[in-house]
Amino acid sequence: MVLIQLSSLVSEVSHGQAFLGLCSLLISLIVLLLIRQLVKQRRPRGFPPGPSPIPVIGNIMSLATEPHVFMKKQSEIHGQIFSLDLGGYSAVVLNGYDAIRECLYHQGDVFSDRPSLPLFMKMTKMGGLLNAKFGNGWIEHRQLASNSFRYFGSFQKPLDQKILEECMFFVDAIDEHKGKPFNPKHLVTNAVSNITNLIMFGERFTYDNCDFQHMIEIFSENVELAVSGWAFLYNAFPWIEYLPFGKHQKLFRNAAKVYNFLEQIIKRFSEGRVCNFPRHYIDDYLNKLDKSAGDLGTPYSRENLIYSVGELIIAGTETTTNTLRWAMLYMALYPNIQEKVHKELDSVLGSGQSPSLADKKRMPYVEAVLHEVLRFCNIVPLGIFRATTQDTLVSGYNIPKGTMVITNLYSVHFDEKYWCDPGTFSPHRFLDSNGNFVRREAFLPFSLGKRHCLGEHLARMEMFLFFTTMLQRFHLQFPPGTVPSLTPKLGMTLQPLPYSICAVRRQQ
């Protein structure tokens, strides 16, 4: 009896000791991880200053709402170039026109990489085009896409003619609402994405193609999720991949669906391909892939084809669509500005003549309105994250190779040194005293330097032709008694919250 009691006491003591041992091991492990994290959070020597980070998560929480506005405010405290701690990895933020020009233009080669963040690595393995590391793969993909814009745009007809054909489908679809309220988001998205579709696949999709629409919808949801708190957390602590919850899981699921859809569609549109007679981007890419077979260093691959097609579709659709949606909203909000646009359209085009690119020079007011929409609405407020290709020195600060760089384009468009009263929507800032259009230096919606937007020329054509065709036919107004919110929906791009508008046919 005594023996039994003694042995159970011994076993209790040894269980207790084992438990205590386990606890102290766990605590030591946590302390070690914490020390490692805190060491990681130390700013490199000579690095730009910045707001104080919270242990472990750094400044991530400050980016939850309007990060571009937060960063501009921080630049007023720490200077145009400052740093942020994103949970153990440091990022440099460039604010204002002078700092962005100094880095992206004067040190073009140095600031042209993309950061190897866990999220981008998982999504595109740093291949494709938009996310590709600075080097041969990126050069080849950028060249191929840029040739496609030129060549497939004018394969049968000049690209502006094709855009005008799409504009007609677009205004006819608006007309079907007969001046009643509707949300223009889907219509604008479908019309705009068709221009990239023509270049990628040689075909437009009808506005009732649900599969394509669904793909664009979840893809643009990812554009939003890519800068959510969860995405920053995933970059700082990639092991959260194994948590069963969190918005990053939605991002991964969406990406898998999009890639699967693109794979199918690429297969369909490459049927009947004849070598050396490419009909569109897909054919051209596959020809390059065939020619480089056996070359171990080739950047062309089936995977990179899917990534680059996806990137071109979403980069071309999300941005131009949001610009046009903001433009419609501001025309209804400011009827006096809309009236001036109508007057210019009527005087240049007369009655019944469709707009063409040749008319652009004779429409300075329309140009000024579209420029002011791009400045004021900041479609891509933080650009696309960059990284340095080598150690460098800027304004006396040391920035090591591989540092993530955030370009606050919003701060350029609201830079008081270059813009008078930047918080007011005023197309007149792009006109001289004679009403001629004037270019402004601190206007960078398409960014600057070697990685500046590849689709700028295409986007400018699309915006001008869609906007003028729509306003030539319609007067835009909000449903009686309603004024939509002007607060943007946050993501990599800023878009208006869903709103309803009436497009009433004009009497010309």
The DSSP bridge partners found for residue 147 are none
Which positions from 101 through 140 interact with ligand HEM, judged by CB under 6 A?
129-130
Q: Is 312 in the site for ligand HEM (CB under 6 A)?
A: yes
Among 107, 148, 196, 411, binds ligand HEM (CB under 6 A): 196
Among 142, 177, 247, 340, binds ligand HEM (CB under 6 A): 142
Q: Is 188 in the site for ligand HEM (CB under 6 A)?
A: no
- Residue 114 CA neighbour count, 13 Å, CB half: 24
CA distance 330 to 320: 15
Q: With contacts defined by CB under 6 A, name the span among 32-40, 60-68, 223-231, 450-458 that binds ligand HEM.
A: 450-458
Q: Is 320 in the site for ligand HEM (CB under 6 A)?
A: yes
- Least distance to ligand HEM, CB of residue 141, Å: 8
Among 454, 471, 490, 502, binds ligand HEM (CB under 6 A): 454
Buried b (16+ CB within 10 A) or exposed e, 149-173: beebbebeeebbebbbebbebbbeb
Q: With contacts defined by CB under 6 A, name the span among 95-103, 297-305, 355-363, 442-450 that binds ligand HEM.
A: 442-450
Which positions from 364 through 423 interact with ligand HEM, judged by CB under 6 A?
379-380, 383-384, 386, 407
Q: Is 377 annotated as a binding residue?
A: no
**Residue showing the smallest CB distance to ligand HEM in the complex:** 455
Answer for the pair 420, 76: CB distance below 8 angstroms, yes or no.
no
CA distance 227 to 492: 6
Q: Is 99 in the site for ligand HEM (CB under 6 A)?
A: no
- Least distance to ligand HEM, CB of residue 448, Å: 7
Using the minimum distance from each CB to ligand HEM, give the nearer residue, 233 or 373.
373
Among 95, 411, 447, 495, binds ligand HEM (CB under 6 A): 447
The DSSP bridge partners found for residue 397 are 394
Number of chain residues interacting with ligand HEM (CB under 6 A): 27
User: What are the residues whose beta carbons fall under 8 Å from the beta carbon of 222, sequence distance 6 or more?
Assistant: 251, 254, 255, 258
Using the minimum distance from each CB to ligand HEM, give the nearer residue, 59 or 323.
323
What is the DSSP pairing of strand 488-489 with strand 397-399?
Answer: unpaired
Q: With contacts defined by CB under 6 A, name the span among 74-82, 420-428, 440-448, 482-490 that binds ligand HEM.
A: 440-448
Using the minimum distance from each CB to ligand HEM, give the nearer residue, 51 or 170.
170
Using the minimum distance from each CB to ligand HEM, give the nearer residue, 215 or 458.
458
For the chain, what's the residue count?
508
Using the minimum distance from each CB to ligand HEM, give the nearer residue, 70 or 464.
464
Type of residue found at 24: S
One character per residue 256-275, x = contact with ligand HEM (rule: CB under 6 A):
--------------------
Q: Which run of H or of E encompasses 24?
A: helix 2-40
CA distance 497 to 465: 24
- Least distance to ligand HEM, CB of residue 74, Å: 20
* Burial (0-12, 13-18, 19+ Cβ within 10 Å), 180: exposed
CA distance 306 to 256: 11
State the helix-helix crossing angle for 229-236 and 247-270, rounded to 10 degrees.
90
Q: Is 316 in the site for ligand HEM (CB under 6 A)?
A: yes
CA distance 304 to 122: 13
Answer for the pair 395, 240: CB distance below 8 angstroms, yes or no.
no
Using the minimum distance from each CB to ligand HEM, give the nearer residue, 196 or 477.
196
CA distance 179 to 161: 27
- Least distance to ligand HEM, CB of residue 411, Å: 13
Find where tokens 């077979």 sit: 293
Short-list 392, 406, 401, 453, CA closest to 142: 453
Q: With contacts defined by CB under 6 A, name the span among 13-21, 59-67, 338-346, 446-454 that binds ligand HEM.
A: 446-454
Extract the annotated binding site: 453
- Write out the residues near ligand HEM by the rule CB under 6 A: 129-130, 142, 196, 311-312, 315-316, 319-320, 323, 379-380, 383-384, 386, 407, 445-447, 451-455, 458-459
Residues in the annotated binding site for heme? 453
